[in-house]
Amino acid sequence: MVFNPKLQDIFLLRPKTIPNFGIRIRSLREDLEIEPYQIENIRLSRILIRDMMEPTVLYGLRAGKKSDVCPSAFQSRFHIIQNKYDDHQFIYTDGSKEGDRVGCTVVCGR
């Protein structure tokens, strides 16, 4: 919906309207040669923030750099935590930086 071409037409008819995100980043997206189909659609939660429980964040796997930890030891610690909290919703995050470029992802579920 962010990159819906109909929204561009609506915005042009109402120039005092604040353009949506897709319109605001259009020139940047085109400069980077990113097509709208390459961007994942998201669904926003219908749960209001005031109704959400405060999350519990576990930093047990954060000790030291991932590259300094033996992969099997890292996986073992991860599975211990995962099994201990099997009734919870897991949110996995990852990020990387190379020079002045950054990327990140967030995945919910198992």
Distances (CA, A) of 42 to 2, 53, 100, 106, 107: 10, 22, 26, 12, 11
70-95 burial, b at 16+ Cβ within 10 Å, e below that, comes to: eeeeeeeeeeeeeeeeeeeeeeeeee
Q: What is the pLDDT of residue 90?
A: 76
Reply yes or no on whether the pLDDT at 110 is more than 60.
no
> What percentage of the chain exceeds 90 in pLDDT?
0
Rg over CA atoms, the chain = 20
Q: Which residue is it, tokens 């405060």?
A: 54
Q: Which domain holds residue 80?
A: 5-108
Q: What is the pLDDT of residue 68?
A: 79
Q: What is the pLDDT of residue 2?
A: 62
Total number of domains constituting the chain: 1
Mean pLDDT for all residues in the chain: 78
